[in-house]
Structure 1
Amino acid sequence: MSKSIVVLGAGPGLGQAVAHRHAREGWTVALVARRQEPLDRLAAQLTGAGARAHVIVADLADTGGVPELAGRIRAAVGDPDVLYYGAAADGFVPVLDLTPRHALDLLPLGLSTLLALTGEFLPAMLTRGSGAILSAQGASALHGNPHIAGGVILAAQRNYLQALHAAVAGRGVFVGGLYVGAAIEHTPFHARLEASRAAGEPVPDIPTVDPAHLADLLWSMHDTAGPPEVTYP
């Protein structure tokens, strides 16, 4: 039986690249996101290349729906070998405008749903002595950014992943985070950046990156049980 990965947040850019990267290795892929049509297109690309792909439509902001979502994932691929979490709410709010309400609104996607999913799938990974839990988020998880104050929630997620990595060390399960300080091509953020640049408007001085390169980094992290944190650039 082929190994399986659940791509949670299988949107344009990195989520799709992670799906393609694992499909090329012969893995079965479960794709989870809110909208059916883009998932169907991605699944058709994967199956057209010979992979097995399953579409699961779900709102990851609904932490209370995780038990039902976990059941649908198990029905499709069993207990997955790798859980990839790339979902995050829009944290592009100036720090002077951040309110308690806004921070709470960012919490489900930024932390709570990942906690719930880990509770569902980590026990099986520990029982068999293999598996991985991966996340990819913005570099605001590492350094406070006055323009991306929502990074405070991602920083909490990073702290959780660090603690989880330490808790399962030596038990065959890899926990890691990729932190990206670049505009990922083929994403809405990259498109807005390029449109602003073309219009002569000021834009942040940040690099761009091909999502396929980031997907390779994530693959190497769990395939080689490398460092638990990788940053780009």
Structure 2
Amino acid sequence: MALKELFDLHGKIALITGGSRGLGLQIAEALGEYGAVVVLTARKQNELDEARAHLAGQGIQAHVYAHDLSDFESIDRTVEKIVAEVGPIDILVNNAGATWGAATTEHPFEAWQKVMNVNVNGLFLVTQSVLKRSMVPRQSGRIINIASVAGLQGNDPRMAATLAYNTSKGAVVNLTRALAAEFAAQGITVNSICPGYFPTKMTKGTLAYGEQAILEHTPMRRLGTDADLGGLALLLASDASAYITGQNIAVDGGITSV
């Protein structure tokens, strides 16, 4: 098979949680450019509508479903609806996430639960649902979890404390390894992307607080851009990565190398 054919996603359906903006939309652009039909979920319908129009302007077919990942009881229903209306899911990108900044001694338990419910519990439940309803019956699939460099290391003490976020992303890192081992023999690969600092709505507060410290600690001396994540996402979603599973790959300008 020609190399360019390995990256071809025509005929594939990709579900991207939290796909209406930020890194999720960047990934949707990359997968859609190579032929995938993208399905976006997010909490706000207006942002989903804007994302769909944005993608349509690039010639990318997108379906959108308003959904709150922390509403656990609705996850199966949403996945069932997507499969019935769009088709079986070939690629799952677990991108939706939440964060909270607070010193550990002052961290509200309710905020801890919110972060865990979206970043770990919701991710698990949507993955379980997609596995049962699409990937296991077809013995194929690509799962891409969006973890973080925060799941690979502790915080620089100059930064705002984010214990719940770091803990949740550490859980995603090892969930990726465990899932990969469990489903490898069934033609399903599971990998994670661990972004460094990208300017998004979620990182706005962090960057306002400590962008200079971040840049000083980043060997490339810059933040991530709209062009820095799509290539890896495409690789992990395509047949070009058929022998790659259980990996947690940092896209961070070198932060985790020092």
| TM-score in terms of structure 1 length | 0.87
Please report how far the alpha carbon of residue 193 of structure 1 lies from its aligned counterpart in structure 2 after TM superposition: 5.9
Distance 1:204 1:148, change over 3 A: farther
Distance 1:8 1:24, change over 3 A: same
Question: Residue type of the partner of 1:211?
Answer: D
Map 1:20-59 onto structure 2 (within 5 A): 20-59=29-68
Question: Residue type of the partner of 1:188?
Answer: K
Partner of 2:142: 132
**C-alpha distance in 2 between matches for 1:165 and 1:42:** 31
Aligned pairs, number: 227
Greater fraction of residues in strand: 1
Please report how far the alpha carbon of residue 191 of structure 1 lies from its aligned counterpart in structure 2 after TM superposition: 4.6
**C-alpha distance in 1 between matches for 2:99 and 2:203:** 14
Asked whether the equivalents of residues 21 and 212 of structure 1 are also in contact (C-alpha less than 8 Å), the reply is no
Please report how far the alpha carbon of residue 77 of structure 1 lies from its aligned counterpart in structure 2 after TM superposition: 1.8
The more displaced of 23-32 and 101-110 is 101-110
Distance 1:232 1:51, change over 3 A: closer
Task: Please say if 1:177 is aligned against 2:229.
Answer: no
The more displaced of 28-37 and 147-156 is 147-156
Please report how far the alpha carbon of residue 189 of structure 1 lies from its aligned counterpart in structure 2 after TM superposition: 4.5
Map 1:213-232 onto structure 2 (within 5 A): 213-223=228-238, 224-225=240-241, 226=244, 228-232=247-251
Map 1:183-202 onto structure 2 (within 5 A): 184-185=198-199, 187-189=200-202, 191-192=204-205, 196=208
Please report how far the alpha carbon of residue 232 of structure 1 lies from its aligned counterpart in structure 2 after TM superposition: 1.8
Please report how far the alpha carbon of residue 190 of structure 1 lies from its aligned counterpart in structure 2 after TM superposition: 5.1
Distance 1:191 1:53, change over 3 A: same
Question: Residue type of the partner of 2:44?
Answer: R
- Name the Cα RMSD after superposition: 2.2
| TM-score in terms of structure 2 length | 0.79
Please report how far the alpha carbon of residue 38 of structure 1 lies from its aligned counterpart in structure 2 after TM superposition: 1.6
Question: Residue type of the partner of 1:214?
Answer: L
Partner of 2:114: 105
The more displaced of 144-153 and 114-123 is 144-153
Identity of aligned residues (%): 25
Partner of 2:72: 63
Please report how far the alpha carbon of residue 138 of structure 1 lies from its aligned counterpart in structure 2 after TM superposition: 2.2
Distance 1:105 1:42, change over 3 A: closer
Cα distance per residue 1:166-200 (max 9 Å; x no partner) = 11123211101111122x13x12555566x48xxx
Distance 1:149 1:131, change over 3 A: same
**C-alpha distance in 2 between matches for 1:119 and 1:189:** 26
Please report how far the alpha carbon of residue 144 of structure 1 lies from its aligned counterpart in structure 2 after TM superposition: 2.5
**C-alpha distance in 2 between matches for 1:69 and 1:137:** 23
Question: Residue type of the partner of 1:148?
Answer: T
Q: Secondary structure at the match of 1:135?
A: strand
Distance 1:161 1:193, change over 3 A: closer
